Amino acid sequence: EPEVTQTPSHQVTQMGQEVILRCVPISNHLYFYWYRQILGQKVEFLVSFYNNEISEKSEIFDDQFSVERPDGSNFTLKIRSTKLEDSAMYFCASKWTVDSGNTIYFGEGSWLTVV
Amino acid sequence: GNSVTQMEGPVTLSEEAFLTINCTYTATGYPSLFWYVQYPGEGLQLLLKATKADDKGSNKGFEATYRKETTSFHLEKGSVQVSDSAVYFCALTGGGNKLTFGTGTQLKVEL
């Protein structure tokens, strides 16, 4: 079964450093997402991406964050200058169509620890 | 805006017990409703979904019915197993493409 894959599975970084989290969405999907889950808290939407541009973003997704689809398969989340409060599990997700009933498929997550 | 409210956990049950995890929502229009499950150390997996009122989603013995009149989508299973121990998230999409999640309910099933 096709799946969303994410790398790395775990990264430890020092505060102020840049981090890039990588994702390979399911190949024929058109909508891409990043979510995050701070330990013990709810899963929060960060950003959605369609047709090579951001379609929606949350208040969390400030100027420190950016996303890119550098080629036909990868989708990346960059955090420019990490803060302690960026420590979380980051989930990449994708879906096929704009239909709100269409399933969004998630990767296994990248656990980011900022020290 | 959209929101999802789930019952607080953790929920601890004995194997073969009946499970209900309550979920209510607030949304404009006609949202689609989902239950996702997160097993220990893993990502989010779709468990079931329902896209219109009175639809029943079901999978692996779990089921939930989309109740528009009560804005609810409660998750039920008649007989839980130890392998069902996980965190369960109720979620919706409506008026946009993103999922809005509830806080999650941890389920622990004991022998």
**DSSP letters for A18-72:** -EEEEEE--TT--EEEEEEE-TTS-EEEEEEEETTEEEEE-TT--TTEEEE--SS
The predicted-structure confidence for B82-106, as pLDDT tens digits, reads as follows 999 999 999 999 766 789 999 999 9
Q: Do B100 and B91 form a contact (C-beta atoms < 8 A)?
A: yes
Q: Do A107 and A5 form a contact (C-beta atoms < 8 A)?
A: yes
Task: Report which of residues B24 and A1 the model is more confident about.
Answer: B24
Please report which confidence band the pLDDT of residue A87 belongs to, taking 50, 70 and 90 as the band edges. Answer: very high
What was the pLDDT predicted at B95? 67
What was the pLDDT predicted at A40? 82
Cβ of B98 and A103 within 8 Å? no
Cβ of A100 and B101 within 8 Å? no
For range A46-62, the mean pLDDT: 94
Whether the predicted pLDDT of B77 surpasses 70: yes
Query: Cα distance from B55 to chain A (closest Cα, Å)?
Result: 12
What was the pLDDT predicted at B96? 67
What was the pLDDT predicted at A38? 93
Burial class (CB in 10 A: 0-12, 13-18, 19+), A57: middle
Whether the predicted pLDDT of B30 surpasses 90: no
CB of A3 within 8 Å of a chain B CB? The answer is no
Give the whole-angstrom CA distance, residue B3 versus residue B81: 30
What was the pLDDT predicted at A73? 87
CB of B74 within 8 Å of a chain A CB? The answer is no
Please report which confidence band the pLDDT of residue B41 belongs to, taking 50, 70 and 90 as the band edges. Answer: confident
Give the residue from B99, B100, B103 with the most A CB atoms within 10 Å of its CB, the best one to mutate. B99
Task: Report which of residues A73 and A15 the model is more confident about.
Answer: A15
Q: What percent of chain B has pLDDT over 90?
A: 84
Give the whole-angstrom CA distance, residue B71 versus residue B24: 6
Q: What percent of chain B has pLDDT over 70?
A: 98
Cβ of A103 and B49 within 8 Å? yes
Query: Cα distance from A96 to chain B (closest Cα, Å)?
Result: 11
What was the pLDDT predicted at A20? 97
What was the pLDDT predicted at A37? 93
A17-26, A40-49, A74-83, B63-72 — which is least confidently predicted?
A: A40-49
CB of B28 within 8 Å of a chain A CB? The answer is no
Q: Whole-number mean pLDDT of chain A?
A: 93
The structure tokens listed for B14 are 């004995």
